[in-house]
Structure 1
Amino acid sequence: MSSQTPPTSGDNEPKHTGLGKDLIQRGVYKSNPLGTATFIGLRSLDPFLQYQILAHGWGSSLLTKLGLSTIPLYASGTPVATMMHETGIRLLDSLNLPLPRLILLAMATGSTLKQIFWLTCTSKEEFPPRAAATVSAYNTFVNSLASMLLISTATSAALSTPLVTIPGTSLSVSLPTAVGAAMYAVGMALETVPEIQRRRFKDAPENRGRICDAGPWGWARHINYGGYTIWRTGYAVAAGGWTAGAVVAAWHLWTFAFRSIGLMDEYMSGRYAERWAQYKKDVPWLLFPGIY
């Protein structure tokens, strides 16, 4: 999500392009304590909100007002047997969530931790409060929508068949939940590992002015965007099934293909010129190696 090397003289102004203004201050390498605090604070609230939606009826109340039926957690004070699972882990079981909802809550928590890690540990560019609020609001909205899909009887992936047994346990989940969880894990790794690698590359003095093309960056030019698309799609699949996943995948692919990649390409072309042009020839794939 960040550019490749520290700014050189005369290259520290935010970039404005015909595609709009990037939320990240490309080429502006400095901290913004207020922006960082805003982002950490707002993103940290999201898991608590998702828990209220999934466990304490916030989502069910809203869906009922919209005339939609929801999957109950309890029937006459007794856990719904077909939906409740015990993991054997006291902390998780104390949340009193069915396994599909517990998985979705874990995804929300993981996305918060990953994005805070990105801002504080792998990104070096300024992230002002407005950008922090915008990104936080977007992620909370998408996560909340996924939680709503999961608890609605009309869309819940938890009600899909067949069921898949988790290896080494007696627990089972629906096929979309299992596939979505796997996609989430793969996507998180594919976004996070390259960003860590790029930060280490940029921090090495001998790499100043060079474009990181090692490891995953030699597979696709925006491999981290590809990873984000995969885990976001997996999140949606685990919540609302195949249709929800297809919609989310299409949305993020469109956003990256027609905006984000264009903004980054304009910035990198202006900063690295022939080196970026050569990198594009050496690494023709944008998001997914061998596919796109």
Structure 2
Amino acid sequence: MTDESIPDPRSEASRKRDLIARGDHTRTPVGKAAFFLLRAVEPYLQYSILAHGVGTGLLHSVGLRTLPPGLPAQTGFSAIDGLGLSPYRLVLLGMAVGSSVKQNIWVTALSGEPMTVRDAIIIGVFNSVFNSVSSYAFILRATSASLESTFPQPALIVGSALYVTGILTELIAEIQRKRFKADPKNKGKPYTGGLWSFARHINYGGYTLWRAGYALTGGGWIMGAIVGAFFFSDFATRAVPVLSDYCEKRYGEDWDKFKKQTKYRLIPGIY
């Protein structure tokens, strides 16, 4: 560990349930570089699915039908129009790009915890799977959120709103906390201001929202609800309790005061 690392005060059982080595600031440039590269190629994977139907041959072989590509968007920007994607598919590609950019900002500038190559691969593949599920759900007739003739469809509008709100909430909250932690005067204190004053784990809430929005945009209302419920349940039953355990032992009375001031855990007004 580096000099800045802090021993994790939790039990071994609690630490094993966490996916992040809290308080450990050991430098792992190779692991983080691996994660960065995996996220950087993500938009190319989603473009291959949305533009060229990569993988749909297998879907056709089991009797599933896919949507036609649709008319290409005409935005006036040659780089975008040259992609040849319909407006709806262009939005889904934009979500893949946005999530990759956000996560690479996090791994390079905001996260101080270590990341092994193994963890980088697991987390990178995990995100690729969820993004790909949304892309394939969109191009399949049986699950697509784009079966109406008018554009934009309600699922696209609501899904995009959830995505933008969630990903900006997650990013801004993490930037605010990073700035607070960078000030030596705040050493040993929890950050309770900014967006964190609305929910104690607002970054997890933001992630839940944009994941649900991404899934809703691709696969419609049911898929959006399923994905949103999955992440909400995981955060509520695993991530939040194990992180709260760490914060209670790490910050003591300051964390107790924060809990009294900010009653919501993930999403303001909901939970």
Shorter-chain TM band: over 0.9
C-alpha separation in 2, matches of 1:176 and 1:31: 42
C-alpha separation in 2, matches of 1:89 and 1:15: 55
Alpha-carbon deviation of 1:29? 1.1
Unaligned runs of 5+ in 2: none
CA displacement, residues 30-82 of structure 1 (integer Å, 9 cap, x when unaligned): 32011111101111121111111111121422321231100122xxxxxx4xx
Instruction: Give the aligned partner of residue 191 of structure 1.
Output: 170
C-alpha separation in 1, matches of 2:11 and 2:99: 27
Question: Helix, strand or coil: the match of 1:20?
Answer: helix
C-alpha separation in 1, matches of 2:53 and 2:10: 44
C-alpha separation in 1, matches of 2:174 and 2:80: 30
Deviates more, 1:187-196 or 1:177-186: 177-186
Alpha-carbon distance change, 16 to 132 in structure 1, aligned in 2, over 3 angstroms: farther
Alpha-carbon distance change, 157 to 291 in structure 1, aligned in 2, over 3 angstroms: same
**Segments ≥4 residues shifted beyond 4 Å:** 12-15
Normalised TM-score (structure 2): 0.93
Whether 1:203 and 2:182 are equivalent positions in the alignment is: yes
Letter in 2 for 1:106: G
Deviates more, 1:19-28 or 1:115-124: 19-28
C-alpha separation in 2, matches of 1:204 and 1:225: 24
Instruction: Give the aligned partner of residue 216 of structure 1.
Output: 195
Alpha-carbon deviation of 1:12? 5.6
Alpha-carbon deviation of 1:274? 2.3
Instruction: Give the aligned partner of residue 236 of structure 2.
Output: 257
Give the alignment partner of residue 124 of structure 2, picking from 132, 136, 143. Answer: 136
C-alpha separation in 2, matches of 1:124 and 1:45: 23
Instruction: Give the aligned partner of residue 166 of structure 1.
Output: none
C-alpha separation in 1, matches of 2:160 and 2:117: 32
Q: Is the 8 A contact 1:24 1:131 kept in 2?
A: no
C-alpha separation in 1, matches of 2:166 and 2:144: 22
Deviates more, 1:239-248 or 1:123-132: 123-132
CA displacement, residues 112-134 of structure 1 (integer Å, 9 cap, x when unaligned): 11001011111111122222111
C-alpha separation in 2, matches of 1:66 and 1:265: 46
- Aligned pairs, how many? 268
Whether 1:105 and 2:101 are equivalent positions in the alignment is: no
Deviates more, 1:243-252 or 1:176-185: 176-185
Q: Is the 8 A contact 2:166 2:206 kept in 1?
A: yes
Letter in 2 for 1:195: E
C-alpha separation in 2, matches of 1:146 and 1:19: 32
CA displacement, residues 76-107 of structure 1 (integer Å, 9 cap, x when unaligned): xxxx4xx5432222111101111111111110
Unaligned runs of 5+ in 1: 1-5, 74-79, 164-171
Letter in 2 for 1:16: E
Q: Is the 8 A contact 1:35 1:129 kept in 2?
A: yes
Q: Is the 8 A contact 1:36 1:119 kept in 2?
A: yes
Whether 1:55 and 2:34 are equivalent positions in the alignment is: no
Instruction: Give the aligned partner of residue 13 of structure 2.
Output: 17
Q: Is the 8 A contact 2:180 2:186 kept in 1?
A: yes
The structure carrying a bigger helix percent of its residues is: 2
CA displacement, residues 200-237 of structure 1 (integer Å, 9 cap, x when unaligned): 00001111111101111111000011111111111011
Q: Is the 8 A contact 2:72 2:81 kept in 1?
A: no
Alpha-carbon deviation of 1:7? 4.2
C-alpha separation in 1, matches of 2:62 and 2:53: 14
Instruction: Give the aligned partner of residue 116 of structure 1.
Output: 104
C-alpha separation in 2, matches of 1:42 and 1:114: 13
Give the alignment partner of residue 238 of structure 1, picking from 196, 217, 240. Answer: 217
Alpha-carbon deviation of 1:277? 1.9
Q: Is the 8 A contact 1:16 1:22 kept in 2?
A: no
Normalised TM-score (structure 1): 0.87
Instruction: Give the aligned partner of residue 30 of structure 2.
Output: 34
